[in-house]
Structure 1
Amino acid sequence: MLFRLSLLLSSFLWIFSSNANNSHINSEKIIISNVLADIKIDAKLDEEIWQQAKPISMNNITRPYDNIANSFNTQAFMVEDGDTLYVAFIADDPDPKNIRAYYRDRDKSWGDDLIGIKIDTFNDHRLAYRFFVNPLGAQVDGIENEITKNESDSWDGIWDSAGRITDTGYVVEMALPLRMLNFNDELNQQTWGIELVRYYPRDIMLRLSNIYMDRNNKCEVCQHVEATGFKQAKLGSNITVTPSLVLSSREQRDENANWYRENDSNLSLDVRWGVTPNTLLNATLNPDFSTVETDNAQLSINNTFALFNEEKRPFFLDNSDYFDSHYDLVYTRNINAPNFGAKLTGKYSDQTVAFFITDDDQTNILIPGNRGSAIATIDGKSKGSAFRYRKNVNTNTTLGLTSTYRSNDDYYNLVNGFDGDIKLSNTDTLKFQYLQSTTHYPEDFYQQFCQSDDPQDCQQPPQSEQCDLYQCDFNEQVLRTIDDTRFTGNAGILSYTHNSKYWLYKAAYESQNSGFRGDLGFIPKIDSNKFKVGGERRWFAEPDQWWTQFEIYSDYDTTHNDDGELIEEEFDIKTSIEGIYNSWLQLAYTHRNAVGSRLDKSSLAIDGNTTMFKQNVWQFNTHIKPIAGVTIDSDFIYGDKIDFSGNRNGTTYEVHPMLKWNINSHLEMKLKHSFSKLDADGANKYIARLTDLRTTYQFDLQSFLRFTMIFNNTSRNPDNYLYQDSDDIDANTKDLNLELLYGYKFNPQTVFYLGYSEHSQGEDNFDNMEKDDKSVFLKLSYASIH
């Protein structure tokens, strides 16, 4: 049904989409001069060519105000030599001592004074590279995807920049080699979409630009001004060879308190090759796919669904946006320890193609459900692959195809589907995606979820009277994996959004039936069909007021399983205001009817097998920068929350504060804390506390020393855990992770890391925690560019 509806609507609306108004507001082109000059990137601009270059004014405030002139001057200059785009900025400041700039690692400078450029190299309004620099030269780069509305700093290019604070403001200079960009080099002359942007954070964060930005057009990339240059520019072979060496020594303590050591070494090779000007090949042999940086800590207590972790590994990040679609079908953190990997990506006129394949020593997959999900393991190696094709049919219509595959000796999962993004006008968008999957599980797969000592007890569902609440060998994951025959399923999304200056309204339907699996992606819910409708009204302040923007938003959604049984019904309303000190305040109220755990765990039924709980939840969120170098975030939650292990309504109190303090231009402290308390039946059930402290000393733009402490402290009331023996409940558990890491980054791929980490755990006092794991590691990689 969803397939037929999306196909009908897309065909109907395609006829009208070609007439949508999507023209550039700014018609005056920028001509980038070709020069032959030796330019040193030092932010001094003492080369004669900069004196001759035509300045480009960046004095239009596009946020928070609606295209008003700025009172002080910002200018940009651009030249090119056929291989490199050189960009320089002179940013005046009425009070230079208030410039906010700190020595930071790459992509960590958001919130500082920043200046830079956005480039749509194909000028097709789909993607834009962004390159920003703070006044001390710290780099921020990434990609903005207009189709998915994702903005990611994960992509890292190799480019040069410098910044210098002056008596009148600051100067930034950057060199952007063409070899790191994708563009059509069959053209005699390049025409790119470009926006020059400056962020000016004081009591109010100002966004300055060289273009007029129409708030009734939510496609910012579509409004870039056209820039021409680079006659006869060619991408070249662009080969980067990066060998890496990882050495580690790890000591662990066994249950008899005896320590044993494991030493390991790993030599790997990464190759990045521009096979043709439009085609990029990434290959890796025996890769070290470990992440040096520690993942952000997350509380998982009383959470029935798997947690999402961000990808950080370079092989998967390069051109990762080519695989994006409305579903998260390529979640590469599923791939743990591959022996090799290869990825081919390319853009040809109005089409993009992407493909990768990996061979993984492990097979971990997500088993989804509608009341929870879990990670499962299949013995043996697995192969994973993904294919994505996208075509820009016209200025306003994009269609795509996606296929993913994962297999093991006795397991496979295949997903195929198509999707579309149709811009009906500057304010109206239709999106759809349809997927079909085929899956086969091993015969004994369900046994790792069976809670009986004898897995045979889970082969046949018992009678209801034999499977009372929490006295059953079954759970949802057993029932989702017990089928060892080939089965199929489908999923789909259909949404319409109107987003103008003052109004937002949208309607969306999303469905994943019980047979659907997307094992290479992150799709934690199946047997779930959700309809949602919502709207928002916005108000904007005039300059010189203490507030800048005020919003009221509300939505309603319902979720049913495949049999039409209600799982959840929810109404949300929230209001938010932005103002001085870069502040943002939001107050939200949610009324929800939601089912708890299944009473008979041998059945997937909802009606008659669950309890419907009414919930009222209040939430207050804050963000503020009261003084330079200090950022404070905090979330407060109070209201009803389901106690899933007790199948009852409880009361939750949650506080999630965060403090980031740049003590000086080199030293930063970031402290995050999560406090979560659940009371049920008039007594406390648990109190969970999670503290994440990261202190970084940035010696310069290349090197840093970081200390990380993650402390998890959970207290439980064994007498308030229903259906469970209190002797099996640990009243107190404590986990402490410490890491000391030194890093030197010449560029994103030429790096040196030296680190030490340890783990301790205990049950009583902090002083009584015992160390059970410690390791020392070294990583060295060198990127050779040809």
Structure 2
Amino acid sequence: MTQFRQRQPGDGEPISHRTAAYLSYDDSNLYVVFVCDDLPGSVRAHMAKREQTGDDDVVAVYLDTFHDRRHAYVFQSNPLGLQRDGLLNAGQKSDYTFDTVWSTEGRLTESGYVVWMAIPFKSLRFPNGDPQTWGIAVQRKILRTNEDAFWPYITDRVAGFVNQLGTLEPMTDVSPGRNVWLGPYGTFTGSQFLDGHAAAFRSETENRGGIDSKFVIKDALTLDLTANPDFSQVESDEPQVTVNQRYEVKFAEKRPFFMDNAGYFQTPVNLVYSRRIVDPQLGARLTGKINGWAVGALLMNDRAEGEQLKQSDPLFGGRAGIGLLRVQRDFGSQSNVGLLVTSRDFGPSSNRVVAFDTRLKLSPNWYFTGQVMGSGTEKLNGKQASGAGFVSELEYNGRNFSHSTSYKDFSPGFRTDLGYVKRVDLRAVSESAGYLWYRKGGLIQSYGPSLAVSADWDHQGRLQDWYTYPMFAVNLARQSSIQVARSDAYELYLGSGFRESLNYFSFSTSFTKGFAVYASYSRGTGLNYAPASGLSPFLGQSTNASLGMTWRPAQRIRLDNSYIYTALSTRADDHPQGVSPSANIFFNHIARSKVNYQFTRALSLRTIFDYYALRPNESLIDYTLSKSLTADVLMTYLIHPGIAFYIGYTNRMENVAIDPAVPGGLLTASPGTTTGRQFFAKFSYLFGL
């Protein structure tokens, strides 16, 4: 295959450098070889951890193994053979948390680079039959020119991606064969932490082991059984602002068990937020696709809630029972209908949610998405509640123009203990539209405006919020972009209405192989959601800024630095009585410096230094002075996602001083006291039977 054509920045134009992909197969593997020409010294390729291909040129193969034009695997490699894999599902975001076992080799050459892939049929799910007819596409991305090119021709003029894949010639005598995988693991943790109430340090050690098993049924379904599953999180969460937030901050899932096949449980409303399950003991999961039906089921318990209770509580040591069932049926052209049931029980309390959803293709560019759901809840005190929800969206996606109209309705009694729904008792309408003009050649490649507007009311008809958000974006060569925007909003909070506004600017670029930077700045008005005792919520002057930099001084070294600044101060024209204008309410600094050295594709050493500082005016906001400095060192030996060895150490210092007479310690001006240390080692091994 040599006729690669661009999707971006040109539409259908030939790729700028010759690219060829060769395919073959045997009884065990599908083989793909890419031969890519390029200018000497221009290829972007770095040795890094698995999955970290974002700063490099890449090649990829997409496989629609059920040939349903809705679901596909993606296997991606940089020019040195660094792997990234994922799943694509129509109507969902690409899921790159998926990991499986496959092989790659990559080499730079005088005229470009060559990549070899071997994808075992054991690592794929496909119908049981002969011959096999699959959908396929191959891709090459050239970062310095922003080129994203495919065979066959794939265009943004048509909504969807998997529906545009080509057809692979039928393969015969293909089967994953016997497909049973066992994955035992073991962890050791030794920690020392400050017990503020006892004004002394405590030490704890924990040894933990378990096993995950995977059974493939009729080539298409996967049954996962787990005992004392590995739910450890090796990598720390990315820094986020958690101060003065009206709603719960959402963190991404990083635990391997839940990242695997997570897409089977996704619906338009996030009714399965896996971080709600904290410490399970036993679990079983079934996922796959058979005869046009996609199915997902999960049974699991959770020890966390029972362990957090006092020993005198009758429910101490109890376990929550958790169940999920997801069924989805494809029909027509790119349309589907689905059912999701979630259940959580702890002692006499329970929560049940039943939801129906659909995605309908109305034309090559128009889609309708809808979901209706109901919940029933009984709390520990015996109180019961029930509620319903409904969401719908009509969207148009094209190369130049995009548009979306949506409606949400959640009754006051709706609740999902396993999901993530920020707010209930509202009816919300939102509208967004954008247009891009494209230019051939030159620094500017595309530019255009967009506008988003929204308003919502409670079920008594009272206006709660509205906002408008016009933006103008310019996309430049070498992975660069500029955005300017302004938001105007109204917010009803604790019975009072507030008018807010914000001006925003951002810039990002990767103009060289070894350096990338992004920056953003916004200033306007913002609400103090946590006023000090005796004060009501009030508007302040809000300032937000972020700066990030990635530098690769050598092929094996990567340095990432980020800084987030958030501040709120009183306004000269409107401030609480008795408070001086322009007085500080709070400012928050979050800084991270991360260094990674990649000895080989498998062996790496990573260090992270995190600094956090919150300096509030305690007479204006209900926070206390908080500063911390954390050092985190991790050595990783990762052969593939199932075979890995980790050794890590963390040291955390905070602004407290030990004083037996003061529970919790005394606050100090700087983070000078070590409040926690932890050493851990983890080993996992995956083998097939």
Report the TM-score when normalising by structure 2: 0.93
In structure 2, the partner of 1:779 is 682
Q: Provide the C-alpha distance between the structure 1 equivalents of 2:511 and 2:2, rounded to a whole number of angstroms.
A: 31
Q: Summarize the Cα distance change of 1:275–1:768 in structure 2 as closer, same or farther, 3 Å threshold.
A: closer
Aligned with residue 292 of structure 2, among 337, 341, 350: 350
Task: Report whether the alignment pairs 1:182 with 2:118.
Answer: no
Alignment-mate amino acid for residue 632 of structure 1: V
Q: Could you report, residue by residue, the CA deviation over 1:633-683 in whole angstroms, capped at 9, with x for unpaired residues?
A: 112111111111231111111101111111211111111111011012321
Aligned letter for 1:113? D
| Per-residue deviation, 1:774 | 0.5
1:667·1:696 contact (CA, 8 Å) conserved in 2?
yes
Q: Judge which range, 153-162 or 205-214, deviates more.
A: 205-214
1:283 aligned residue (225, 242, 251): 225
SS in 1 for 2:41: helix
1:136 matched residue in structure 2: 80
Tell me, in whole angstroms, the C-alpha distance in 1 between the residues paired with 2:201 and 2:3: 62
Distance 2:416 2:326 in 1: 15
Rounded to whole Å, the distance in 2 between the matches of 1:291 and 1:71 is 42
Q: CA deviation at 1:535?
A: 1.5
CA distance in 1, matches of 2:7, 2:428: 36
Q: Which residue of 2 aligns with 1:471?
A: none
Whole-Å Cα distance in 1 between the matches of residues 501 and 178 of structure 2? 60
Q: CA separation of 1:405/1:538 partners in 2, compared to 1, >3 Å: closer, same or farther?
A: same
Alpha-carbon displacement from aligned partner over 1:336-373 (angstroms, at most 9, x marks no partner): 11011110112112111110111110239xxxxxxxxx
1:660 aligned to 2:550?
A: yes
Partner of 1:246: 187
- Which residue does the alignment assign to 2:168? 227
Counterparts of 2:609 and 2:259 in 1: how far apart (Å)? 27
Give the Cα–Cα distance (whole angstroms) in 2 for the partners of residues 655 and 353 of structure 1.
44
* Counterpart AA for 1:164: R
Q: Which residue of 2 is the match for residue 438 of structure 1?
A: 376
Q: Counterparts of 1:258 and 1:502 in 2: how far apart (Å)?
A: 63
Shift of residue 768 of structure 1? 5.2
Deviation at 1:765, TM superposition (A): 7.1
Matched, 1:164 2:107: yes
Tell me if structure 2 keeps the 8 A contact 1:82–1:230: no
Aligned with residue 210 of structure 1, among 151, 155, 160: 151
Aligned with residue 478 of structure 2, among 581, 587, 609: 581
For 1:474-489, list aligned pairs within 5 A: 484-489=382-387
Amino acid at match of 1:179: K
Separation in 1 of the partners of 2:267 and 2:50?
Answer: 27
Letter in 2 for 1:223: Q
After superposition, the C-alpha distances for 1:525-565 in whole angstroms (9 at most, x for unaligned) are: 111221012211221111x2211111211122111112111
- In the TM superposition, structure 1's runs of 4+ consecutive aligned residues that sit over 4 Å from their partners are 763-768
The corresponding residue for 2:310 is none
Q: Is the 8 A contact 1:634 1:655 kept in 2?
A: yes
Q: Which residue does 2:435 correspond to in 1?
A: 537
For residue 244 of structure 2, what is the amino acid of its counterpart? N
Residue 393 of structure 1 corresponds to 331
1:67 equivalent to 2:1? Answer no
Segment of structure 1 superposing worse, 162-171 or 499-508: 499-508
What SS does the corresponding residue of 2:35 show, helix, strand or coil? strand
- 1:762 corresponds, among 655, 658, 680, to 655
Once the 2 structures are TM-superposed, how far is the Cα of residue 58 of structure 1 from its aligned partner? 4.4
More deviation in 248-257 or 348-357? 248-257
CA drift of 1:508 comes to 0.5
Give the number of the structure whose residues are more often strand, by fraction: 2
User: How far is 1:766 from its partner?
Assistant: 7.2
Find the aligned partners of 2:554 and 2:591 in 1 and give their Cα distance. 23
**Displacement, 1:591?**
0.9
Match of 2:261 in 1: 319
Q: 1:101 aligns with which of 41, 45, 56?
A: 45
Name the structure 1 match of 2:664. Answer: none
Instruction: Give distance in 2, aligned partners of 1:232 and 1:104.
Output: 37
Q: Give how far 1:66 is off.
A: 1.0
1:78 aligns with 2:16: no
Q: Please list, as runs of the form range in 1=range in 2, the aligned pairs for 1:264-275 lying within 5 A after superposition.
A: 264-275=206-217
Residue identity matched to 2:603: S
AA matched with 1:319: N
In terms of fraction of residues, the more helix-rich structure is 1
1:124 maps to amino acid: D
Distance in 1 between the 2:602 and 2:329 partners?
Answer: 40
Task: Give the match's secondary structure for 2:122.
Answer: helix
The 3-state SS of whatever aligns with 1:674 is: strand
Task: State the Cα deviation string for residues 11-50 of structure 1 (Å, max 9, x = none).
Answer: xxxxxxxxxxxxxxxxxxxxxxxxxxxxxxxxxxxxxxxx
In 2, are the aligned partners of 1:712 and 1:736 still within 8 Å (CA)? yes
Once the two structures are TM-superposed, the CA of residue 96 in structure 1 deviates from its matched residue by: 2.5
Whole-Å separation in 2 of the counterparts to 1:197 and 1:655: 36
Task: Name the amino acid aligned to 2:540.
Answer: G
Write out per-residue CA displacement over residues 302-326 of structure 1, whole angstroms, 9 at most, x where no aligned residue: 0121111111222222222111111
- What residue identity is the alignment partner of 2:26? D
Counterpart of 1:248 in 2: which secondary structure? strand
* One-letter amino acid of the structure 2 residue matched with residue 660 of structure 1: T
Task: Give distance in 1, aligned partners of 2:588 and 2:648.
Answer: 29
Corresponding residue for residue 749 of structure 1 = 642
Query: Would you say how many aligned residue pairs link Structure 1 and Structure 2?
Result: 656
Aligned counterparts of 2:559 and 2:669: Cα–Cα separation in 1 = 23
8 Å CA contact 1:571–1:590 kept in 2: the answer is yes
Letter in 2 for 1:157: T
Q: Which amino acid aligns with 1:507?
A: T
Structure 2: gaps (5+ residues): 307-314, 532-536, 576-580, 657-666
Aligned amino acid, residue 751 of structure 1: A
For 2:276, which of 316, 334, 352 is the aligned residue?
334
In structure 1, give the amino acid aligned to 2:238: N
- The answer for the alignment partner of 2:512 in structure 1 is 627
Amino acid at match of 2:57: D
Deviation at 1:198, TM superposition (A): 0.4
* CA displacement at 1:261 relative to structure 2: 1.3
The CA distance in 2 between the partners of 1:767 and 1:159, in whole Å, is 49
Counterpart CA distance in 1 for 2:206 and 2:477 is: 53
Equivalent residues of 2:60, 2:76 under 8 A apart: yes
From 243, 260, 267, the equivalent of 1:301 is 243
Q: How far apart are the structure 1 equivalents of 2:671 and 2:69?
A: 59
TM-fit CA distance, 1:190: 1.5
CA contact (8 A) 2:436 2:448 kept: yes
Matched residue SS, 1:708: strand
Per-residue CA deviations over 1:675-718 (Å, capped at 9, x if unaligned) read 01101232110110011221111111101101011111111123
Q: Deviations over 1:492-551 (max 9, x none)?
A: 111111222222222110112111111111112111221012211221111x22111112
Partner residue in 2 for 1:511: 409
How much has 1:378 moved relative to structure 2? 9.3
SS for the counterpart of 2:257 is helix
For residues 587 and 256 of structure 2, the distance between their equivalents in structure 1, rounded to whole angstroms, comes to 38
Identity of aligned residues (%): 25
- Is 1:58–1:197's contact at 8 Å kept on the other side of the alignment? no
Contact 2:271-2:418 at 8 Å conserved across structures = yes
- What SS does the corresponding residue of 1:625 show, helix, strand or coil? strand
Q: CA deviation at 1:379?
A: 7.4
Residue 118 of structure 1, aligned match among 45, 52, 62: 62
Q: Take 2:433 and 2:241, find their aligned partners in 1: how far apart are those partners? A: 31
Equivalent residue, structure 2, for 1:173: 116
Q: Is the 8 A contact 2:303 2:317 kept in 1?
A: no
**How many Å apart are 1:628 and its aligned residue?**
1.3
SS of match in other structure, 1:191 = coil
- For the 8 Å contact 2:396–2:402, the answer to whether it is kept is yes
